[in-house]
Amino acid sequence: MSRHNVQVTINGRAYESEVEARLLLSDFLRHELDLTGTHVGCEHGVCGACTVLLDGEPVRACLILAVQVNGRQLTTVEGLATDQDDLHPLQEAFRDAHGLQCGFCTPGILMTMVPFLEDNPEPDEAAIRHAISGNLCRCTGYQHIVDAVKLAAERRRSAD
């Protein structure tokens, strides 16, 4: 059972740690680095709660080993807001449009939709629904999530 040194930049901050080869990235973030914003629902890639950005691309943290992110850049939900009064525009929109209830799915949905909106600044509803298809929400029925993403896109357009 090999152990490995991992150096990784998360939300702009450098971390270094020694991990077992079998440690999942999701557990590394939550249990070793106390970055508990990344949630874990299924551990087989189905629910999307653990979505983080690896070098800017959304991936499942439960389907990557911690050792595999050595030398890479990660963004987790903690990287979106500097503090409670300075939320990311998508987080603002989720709050304003009631895009969450229990909030369990929210980190994964935010980390999926932040890069989506950067690539698709003017998405239609079908594109938004397609983009969140890999994230399960048991509370909202998705409608308010879609509304929140639309709201964020509208605000971004009118700010430009």
Ligand X SMILES: Cc1cc2nc3c(=O)[nH]c(=O)nc-3n(C[C@H](O)[C@H](O)[C@H](O)COP(=O)(O)OP(=O)(O)OC[C@H]3O[C@@H](n4cnc5c(N)ncnc54)[C@H](O)[C@@H]3O)c2cc1C
Site of interaction with ligand FES (CB under 6 A) = 40-43, 45-50, 60, 62, 100-105, 137-140
| Tokens found for residue 66 | 């911690």
What is the rounded CA–CA span in Å between residue 14 and residue 7? 7
Q: Does 21 bind ligand X (CB under 6 A)?
A: no
CA pair distance 140, 144, nearest whole angstrom: 7
The encoded tokens of residue 72 equal 């890479």
Distance CA 148, CA 12 (A): 27
Contact 131, 113 (CB under 8 A): yes
And the tokens for 108?
């994964």
Which lies closer to other proteins via its Cβ, residue 57 or residue 160? Answer: 57
Site string for ligand X, 35-54 (x = CB under 6 A): ----------xx--------
CA gap 22, 3 in Å, rounded: 9
Residue list 23-42, contact with other proteins (CB under 8 A)? 24, 27
64 three-class SS: coil
Asked if 102 touches ligand X (CB under 6 A), the answer is no
Q: Which of 49, 45, 54 is nearest to 36 (CA)?
A: 49
Q: Which two tokens stand for residue 103?
A: 């909030």
By beta-carbon proximity to other proteins, the closer residue of 16 and 160 is 16
> Applying CB under 6 A, does 121 fall inside the site for ligand X?
no
**According to CB under 8 A, which one of 13, 18, 22, 86 is a site residue for other proteins?**
22
Q: Considering the complex, state which of residue 18 and residue 96 has its C-beta at the smaller distance from other proteins.
A: 18
Residue number with the shortest CB distance to ligand X?
A: 45
Residues at the contact surface with ligand X, assessed by CB under 6 A: 45-46
Residues at the contact surface with other proteins, assessed by CB under 8 A: 1-2, 4, 20-22, 24, 27, 43-45, 48, 51, 54, 57-60, 62-65, 67-68, 70, 112, 116, 129-131, 133-135
